[in-house]
Structures are given as structure tokens and as C-alpha cells.
Amino acid sequence: MTDSTARPWHTSYQQVGIAAELAPLPHRNLAELAFESCKKWQTESQVKAAFSCVVPNGMNGRLSFAQVDELSDAFAGYLRAVLKLEAGARVAVQLPNSLGYPVAALGVFKAGCVLVNTNPLYTETEMVHQFNNAGVQVLVMVDMFADKLPGVLAKTGIQQVVLASVSEFFPAIAGAIVRGVQRYWNRVLPPVTAPHVRLKDALAQGRATLANTPARTYWQDVGRDDLALLQYTGGTTGVSKGAMLTHGNLLNNIQQTRAMGQSHMAPGQECVLTALPLYHIFAFTTNLLGFLAIGGHNVLIPNPRPVQNLQRAMENFPITWMTGVNTLFNGLLNEEWFVAFPPKTLKASISGGTALHTAVAQRWRELTKTPIAEGYGLTETAPVVSFNPLTGTPRDGSIGIPAPGTDVRLVNDDGQDVAPGTPGEIRVRGPQVMRGYWNAEKETAQVMNNGWFATGDVAVMDETGFMRIVDRKKDMILVSGFNVYPNEVEDVIADMEHVLEVAVIGVPDEKTGEAVRAYVVQNPEHTQEVMPADVIAHCKQHLAAYKVPRLVVVRDDLPKSPIGKVLRKDLRQDVAQELNRG
């Protein structure tokens, strides 16, 4: 293929003012990015906030750029000088969005070690698998789940546990109140019976070593090709695997994301609402690293459920940016306080993780008077692959155009490129693509071929390079030989005002091979009751007959991942159990 046929999106770049080529990377590694960003923005103002953590009642704590720099240096000293870890040692951080998270994560990078992001809600079984697979030596964990430690430590090689609290670094009175509520009202602070050290004590020990060995000593020789992060996939296609992301992968993806969003970004002036968990690759790269690089203020929400937990943060901070998934944006649009007083300072929002329904996008723009851009990415691509420009006419239902420096092909089952408008699997090549899966050569070979990563997602691309996800290969429904893509059916059903959420899967059928089944949740803001017959009638008006759900199930809620992504696999498991019982 020639460049003109391989990259039709370059013409679209010109129309919206996006440079086709990435600027040279300004940093050698993520520790240098953290160091230089903190120095630059603390020079601007000694008290400029880098991170704030806001709990549902509005109480909050904050760290300035100067504090983040000093504290992460201290944690690097603790890991290398006190615990005697070697460069490249794996350190797991199992924290919700809280002020301890950036201190620990950036400290791991400054130590020249490898970060292993871990979901705080993991079971002991999931923790043991991930920690053993990654060879984790140190665990930084939220104290709310410390009751899991005895069982985990007995089955892993973890040598040291560092415990942090949700209210870490809060002012004394606010912190005491938050912990009091956790301990006596919510009863979510179990007794700690396993050996551990508290984060503040670890920092004090590490700080004492820096006079003899500055933190810079540990990271000054780390290069862009060195491993920075083991980011584990959700395990939807089998056992969870660790994507090996290098410093260069993440630094390039920061540049790529910034190139796509810079029309609405002013360095030193942005305030981003971070409701998605930082241990997830989307918020990790875009919010934590991306806004740190431009001197942005990150407002961290420890738990975005229920969505009302965002209210005090949105009322008390001048939010200019937010990231989220479809269910988060939809949830906000159904909150009275948000509809009555949408954020006046908001500039733009980014949606990822799953398809942004057209009805949600349109309502969001109408209410906030700001753009919302759907993007697309994967754990293995650090994560951003494509992005809708924030300027120009919105393209609802599109995942946008590939980010600068990214090549994308759509191929058929034989690996041949398909024509514009024809569904094909997305293959990605670019500086953000992972090195491979940790200790999994076979699995790596299944998805990597000559630098191209096979995503397993099916899309169509038009002549201008804009893409639209059709679905994951495994989610596609085959009805009498016809392909039915759940996203398309879900988008139609989501347009019904009295439907809050929807998920579509295929179920076995003797006559057609598979049949379409829809699960819907009633919108509590509407008095009209969701009736299966009404949903089917609505679909018949907008879809070919073979795409119309055979059955519609009304539920109180839908199974979701920690970031709010609806889990179709769980619904399929429910169906399998139904069939077994039958």
C-alpha cells in the first residue's frame, strides 16, 4: 500500500488542524516527565494543586506539584534504598482514586521499577494470579481490603505491604472524620493482621535516604524501550494477561492524545474530573499522565457509584475536562442536580471503554453546550488508537480517526485489506503498541504480526479515515447466516427515552442458529414503563427483521466492570445457566 491509500485520515487532519507527525518526545522516561512537570508547575506557583481527592460529602485533600515531587521521590528512596529492590522490580499498586495513588505510581517510576496496576476489588484468587504472574515483590494496598492479605501473602512472593487510606494526605480533621465514618458507620475498615507499613512511615524512611542517594540516581539511565508498566487485561478471552507497556509506549500515547485534544487544552489551566479508576489504562494515561504533563489539576473521585458521588466535586471545582464511559455520562444526564446546574466551566469530554450511544452524545452536547468525543483504544495500545476531533461537525457513532503516528488496517478473515465501508478486523501499528504479553510468547504471537496488533474488534472505515466500531468478533451474533452487531441494536434501543441502559447478546436458537436478546433497564426519571413489546416495535421501525430482538428482558440493573462497562459476557453466562437448568 502507498501512503496515500494507507492513511486517508491525513486529509481529515488538515481539515481540523491536527499535525500528521508527532513532535519529538521531550522526555526519556516517565520519571523525567514527572520530575520536570512538577518542577515547572511548582515554579509557576508553590501552592498550585496537582491532585485533589473528593469524597461524597465534599471533604477533600490536595497535593501541590511540589508535594507530589517530594513525596514520590521519598517513595522511590523507600523502594530502592530501604527495601533494596533492583531496577525493574515489579511493584503492585492496588489503590482507588486517592492522593496516595500518584505518589506511589510516580514513585515506582522514579525508582526505576515496574508498576503493576491492580484493581482494589479483586478477589484473593485474582490477586494471587496477577501477583505471581508478574513476580510482584511489593504491594501498595488500600487498607479497606486488608483482610485479604493473609491469604494472599501465603501464596505469593510479596516481601512488603504498604497500606494507604482513601483519606491519605487529607487535613487532620477532615481525614479523621472520613476514617471515622469508614470505621464506625460504613464498617469498611477491617482489622489488619498481616505485617505491613503505613505509607506515611514508608515515606519517612525513604526521605531519610535521599541526602545520600537522590531519587534521580535511580531513573537517570532508564530509556524509552525499558518496561514501565504491566497492565493486565480484563481476562474476557481467558486468563488475565499482562500487557508490557514501555516508557516510550506511554510517552508517545500522551503526545498522541494531546495532539488530538489540544484545541481545547491550555497548559496550566485545565481541571480534569477523574471518576474512572486510575488503575485502568484509560484514566492512567489520559488523566494521570496526560494532565500531569500539561500542569492540569486532577480531581479524583474514589468511588463514582452512585453517580451522585460526583456532585460535590463538580460543584466545588472548576471542572474543564472529564473522561468517562457511556454509562457515566448517561447517569449524569439523569441526575436532577446535574441537569439543573450543568458545569459552566466544562470545555470537553472524552468517552471510551465502550460505545458512546448517539442519544447520550446528543443530550450531553445539548445540555452542556460542549463537545464530547468518542475515542477507541485497548490495554495493549496504551490505550488510545483513535479519537474524534473536538472541532468540526460531530460524527456520532464514530470512534474517529487514528491518532498521529498510528497506522490502522481493516482486514478480513484471510488477513487481506477490505474496501472502504466493508467490515474488517482492526489491526494497529504505532509507537503506543505494547511489546507483548508478559511471560506469554504463545499469546503474544496470536495477536502480533510484524508489528501489527490484531485487536479482535470489527469496524468499517470511510474514505476519509473515520471509523465506526461494528463489534468485537466474539460479540457478533449470527442469525440465519446474517451478521448482527450488538452495538447497532443497542444504539437504536438507547434512543428510547424511558430506557436507561441496554445490552444485547446472542442466544442459541434451533431455527436461526442464534437469536437476538436485549436486556433493558427502566429510566427512573420517566413514568412510562418499559414494555418488551414496545422495545420490539421500536426496533422494527429502525432495523431489518433479523436484527430485531426475539426477546426483551427488563432488569433492575446490568452487570458492569469497575469502569462501568456493561459486561455482555456475564449475560451470556446467565443464559448458559438457564439452558443448563432447562
DSSP calls for 58-105: S-EEEEEHHHHHHHHHHHHHIIIIIS-PPTT-EEEEE--SSTHHHHHH
Specify the fold of 66-223.
Rossmann fold (3.40.50)
Cα 318 to Cα 340, 343, 345, 351, 478, distances in angstroms: 17, 8, 6, 20, 48
Neighbours of 153 (CB within 10 A): 18
Q: Residue 379 carries which side chain, given as an amino acid letter?
A: T
d(CA 68, CA 38): 7
| Residue in the structure block whose three cell numbers are 508498576 | 115
The cell numbers describing 117, all together, are 496496576
The cell numbers describing 531, all together, are 414494555
pLDDT of 1: 36
* pLDDT per 10-residue tile (average), the chain, 582 residues: 64 90 94 97 79 96 96 98 98 98 98 96 88 98 96 97 97 90 85 96 98 97 98 64 97 95 93 95 96 97 94 97 92 95 96 86 97 93 95 91 96 93 95 97 94 94 93 77 80 92 91 90 91 95 89 95 87 88 68
- CA-based torsion, 50, 97, 276, 135: positive or negative: positive
Task: Give buried/exposed letters for 244-265 (b at 16+ CB in 10 A, else e).
Answer: bbbbbbbbbbbbbbbbbbebbb
Q: Give the residue from 445, 409, 413, 401 showing the smallest Cα distance to 429.
A: 409
pTM of the model: 0.86
CA angle 546, 548, 550 (to 5 degrees): 95
What DSSP assignment string belongs to 395-413?
Answer: -TT--BEEPTT-EEEEE-T
pLDDT of 561: 86
Name the segment(s) of the chain with CATH classification 3.40.50.980.
66-223
d(CA 519, CA 500): 11
Name the segment(s) of the chain with CATH classification 3.30.300.30.
476-581
User: What kind and span of H or E run contains 114?
Assistant: strand 114-117
Do residues 97 and 274 touch, judged by C-beta distance below 8 A? Answer: yes
- CA-based torsion, 436, 439, 445, 450: positive or negative: positive
DSSP tally for the chain: helices H, then strands E: 21, 27
Right CATH for 476-581 from 3.30.1300.10, 3.30.300.30, 3.40.190.80, 3.30.1490.190: 3.30.300.30
Q: Residue 567 carries which side chain, given as an amino acid letter?
A: L
How buried is 198 (Cβ within 10 angstroms: 0-12 exposed, 13-18 middle, 19+ buried)? middle
End-to-end CA distance of the chain: 53
